[in-house]
Amino acid sequence: MSYSPIIQKTIEYIEKNLHEELSLESIAQFVGFSKYHYHRIFQKEVGVTVSEYIRYRRIANSANMLLYSDEKIIDIALYYRFETQESFTRSFKKYYNLPPGQYRKIIGKLTFQREEIMLENEKLLKGWNLSGSHPFNYQMGIDREHFHKGKASGFLKSVTVQSHGEFATMMQQFKAEKYLGKRVKLSGFIKSKDVDGFCGFWMRVDDSLGDVLQFDNMSDRQIVGSNEWNHYHIVLDIPENSKVIAFGVLLSGNGQVWIDELKFEEVDKQTPTTNIDFSAELLNEPTNLSFEE
């Protein structure tokens, strides 16, 4: 059974209610699970406990408010459900190694300096390349205002797109040898805005001739429109004759998509793959040649 839709439903609920009281019990009740079962599947799917997820998302949003608002630190702390400014400071230092006041002063100054060179963003994206059918109609870069955790996310957005048929991808590729014979999972968080085509992760496994062995672009679970951060994944087998693994985020048509906290991991064979089986679409023989059926 795939728990991904349930996890996405509850993450959406959490994101909308970060400034409200949230508990494992209330979130599990929201989807009709026992808190113990929900705790297990959330940690397995996302990699952290529910409470840890809520804590670091509140801290990440707090960091954004420190840099891009004039709200008092105590007001930010209380808004995100910290009982005191002292408890907020302790949690904040755990993730950013600075108390909130120093973070606002030091990182804020660096942030605005970086914004002066935003046109150089593509040079800052180590390992990532812009590709697709019309890459010149899109822009990729680093966003230090919108992020899921830490200090930045990657983004891909339309600039001069003319039709839904155009698409671009922010991607990278690497040698498959480390994963031969294994089943791997690409997971991470995606946020979207005004996507009128669709967006999502994609992953492809090629052999030495460039033939596609495994592929998924989330075409059967497309992300459209505007959505807050949520968790998505792709699972593919890496056959023994694999040579290259390519992956990235795809944006078709207009809009903008952000990605953060991408992760590769080996999973067991009980984890279902998301591979698109193109051979299943082939007929065994010609049919309806007289158009009477």
* Residue that the structure tokens 């205002």 belong to: 145
Give the model's pLDDT for residue 287: 76
* Tokens of residue 79, six digits: 């808004």
Say what the pLDDT of residue 119 is. 44
Whole-number pLDDT of residue 110: 67
Q: Are 187 and 232 in contact (CB under 8 A)?
A: yes
Residue with tokens 């992953």: 203
* 138 C-beta neighbours (distance < 10 Å), count: 24
CA–CA distance, 54 with 219 (Å, rounded to integer): 29
Nearest Cα to Cα of residue 189 among 259, 141, 274:
259
For the chain, list residues with pLDDT below 70: 1, 109-124, 278-283, 293
For helices 50-68 and 85-96, angle between their N-to-C axes, nearest 10 degrees? 90
Q: How far is residue 280 from each of residues 19, 273, 277, 283, 284, measured CA to CA in Å?
A: 47, 15, 6, 8, 10
CA distance 249 to 251: 7
**Residue 26 corresponds to which tokens in the numbers above?**
């209330």
Structure-token match 């990532």, residue found = 128
Cα dist from 175 to 202, 216, 235, 241, 245, whole Å? 17, 18, 17, 12, 6
pLDDT at 280: 56
Q: Would you state the pLDDT for residue 278?
A: 65
Rounded to two decimals, the pTM is: 0.86
* pLDDT at site 279: 62
Q: Which of 148, 107, 112, 142 is nearest to 124 (CA)?
A: 142
pLDDT at position 235? 97
Percent of the chain with pLDDT over 70: 91
Check if the beta carbon of residue 53 is closer than 8 Å to that of residue 7.
no
